[in-house]
Amino acid sequence: MLQSSRAHTATHIARQMLEEQIREGFLEPGSRLPTEPELASKLGVSRNSLREALRALEDCGLVTKRHGVGTFVTDSRPLVKGGLERLVSIAEFIAGEGRQPGSVLVQSSTTAASPELERRLGLTENEQVAVVETIKTADSQPVAVCIDYIPTAYLPENFDAGALHEAIFEGLQRELGIVIKYAECQIVPTTATAALASKLDVSEGAALLLLDQVHVDDRGKRVFHSKSYFPSNRFSFVVIRHR
């Protein structure tokens, strides 16, 4: 019996075994799984743990439950690409697509927060924010322009916010102990201004996707704001919408 590096928990064990059997094709798409009590005893876990595992698989779209009927292996292929529900950095996103991520610093400065920023981040008046603008690349090709707005109040004296540009999540955690837990992401279609067009190597007026995000830490504090611009044809974002 293979043991994976970590993940001893009963739920993980059940999830892994089921997922493997489904992905390897031992369980036919469309076929019914054994009943929950049966499966639980077969896998040597409690029914509760099994149910947690099944829930995870259902979230990934691998199985479908029907109350009073049974649990079935989903018979449509996975298909899913992006998965916007998960908050990952652009670099992680690019790496996940099998390409080489890069980041070019365009500018790093400090200005007064706009009223809009004050509202979004819950700042008091007259606060300063560090503004860090970068171009993200995949295999050296520009794929996104990202502008981060970080209140200087959170940063140490004379801290160079530009140093965070390559990996802001990791940087905040390592340098400042701030753990980003989720982002509220507003999805806005827009068109390329001349400035954005030249940075992204698209024509002016081309369709862009703007992800306008407020990042919140594990204490519920809104830590920073970011705007990321993606050309429509160079990235594909997907969300699974449940009824």
Partner DNA sequence: CAGTGGTCTAGACCACTCG
Partner DNA sequence: GAGTGGTCTAGACCACTGG
The residue ranges that bind a second copy (CB under 8 A) are 29-30, 48, 61, 64, 66, 72-77, 79-80, 84-88, 122, 169, 180-191, 205-210, 213-214, 216, 218-222, 230, 232, 236-243
CA atoms within 13 A on the CB side of 189: 5
* Binding partner at 46 among DNA, a second copy, none, C-beta below 5 to 8 Å by kind: DNA
Length of the chain: 243
**Which helix (H) or strand (E) segment is 96 a member of?**
helix 90-96
Q: How far is the CB of 2 from a second copy (least distance, A)?
A: 28
Which DSSP category does 54 fall into?
A: H
**Between residue 80 and residue 99, which ones bind DNA under the rule CB under 7 A?**
none
Q: For residues 9-48, which are near DNA according to CB under 7 A?
A: 9-12, 33, 35-37, 44-48
Residue 79 binds to DNA (criterion: CB under 7 A)? no
Q: Closer CB to DNA, residue 156 or residue 177?
A: 177
Does the footprint of DNA cover residue 60 (CB under 7 A)? no
Q: Are 77 and 62 in contact (CB under 8 A)?
A: no
Sequential DSSP letters for 117-142: HHHHHTPPTT-EEEEEEEEEEETTEE
Tell which one of 18, 22, 27, 51 touches DNA (CB under 7 A).
51
Which is closer to DNA, CB of 46 or CB of 152?
46
Pick what 9 binds: DNA, a second copy, none; C-beta below 5 to 8 Å, kind-dependent.
DNA
Q: Which of residues 181-200 bind DNA (CB under 7 A)?
A: none
Backbone angles phi, psi at 47, to 5 degrees: -65, -35
Q: Spell 112-144 as b/e; 16+ CB within 10 A means b.
A: ebeeebbebbebeeeeebbbbbbbbbbeeebbb
Residues near DNA (CB under 7 A) are 9-12, 33, 35-37, 44-49, 51-52, 65-71
